[in-house]
Amino acid sequence: MIKRLLVILLATLLIMPNARALPISPSPAPHPTLAMKNLSVVKISTKKKITLSPSPSPKWPPLGFKSNGEVYAKIPTPKELVGTASNSRLLTRQLAQIVDGVRICEKYSCGAVQLASLNGCTWWEVNAKLQGVTSATDKTLRVFGTLRTLARATSPRQITTVLLISKEDIALKHVIAGISANCYHDATNEKIPSSIYTPVEITD
């Protein structure tokens, strides 16, 4: 009975008119997907360009300086001298010299002058006098010595501070005065920097 049923079923399938097989469509290929979960967003911002202005040129002539031709000079106050020394290793070393256990300008009478030249100088010559009263009873001013100081070269409009150191005891209360400066453009064989103090002989 079972065999007969199978034969009938097979015969039925064989005689079915225009039987077509179902078309099999290929499975779509998987497309990779991009996970956006861990992506950071890059923001591009446009900033305004900043233009830097050049520093203004130093004021010329310098404030408080007196001129004679191309040479400019000024006597600094003690406060100005301290401020200048804080920015000058040379001046700091000069003021820090020790004589008899004290700083040099606490031992000897000192002075200073600030110099500049419109065209620059190969070297400087500074001349000065050491003045004071004649005695405790005679208040007439007199010269006790002269000082000649040579200083290094400077560029055009460069300010240099020249320390003037005598060899007279500060207790005598003599002062540096009559300062004059010369700017040289030629070379020299003299030692630079250098300073020579010459006492004036008393003929009384």
**Complete domains list, the chain, with CATH:** 66-186 (2.60.40)
Average pLDDT value for residue range 70-97: 93
Residue 100 confidence class, pLDDT cut points 50, 70, 90 = very high
SS3 of 19, please? coil
Q: How far apart are CA 200 and CA 51, in angstroms?
A: 62
Region for residue 118 given its phi and psi (left: phi exceeds 0; alpha: psi -120 to 50; beta: otherwise): alpha
Whether 11 shows a pLDDT value over 80: the answer reads no
The percent of residues above 90 in pLDDT, for the chain, comes to 64
pLDDT in tens, 175-198: 999 999 999 999 999 999 999 999
Give the tens place of pLDDT for each residue, 124-149. 999 999 999 988 899 999 999 999 99
Q: State the DSSP H helix or E strand holding residue 149, giving kind and residue range, or none if neither.
A: strand 141-151
Give pTM, 2 decimals: 0.70
Copy the structure tokens of residue 102: 């004290």
Q: What is the chain's length? A: 204
User: Quick one: pLDDT band at residue 62, thresholds 50, 70, 90?
Assistant: confident
Using the predicted structure, report yes or no on whether residue 55 has a pLDDT greater than 70.
no
Q: Per-residue pLDDT for 12 more than 50? A: no
Distances (CA, A) of 88 to 129, 145, 153, 187: 25, 28, 15, 25
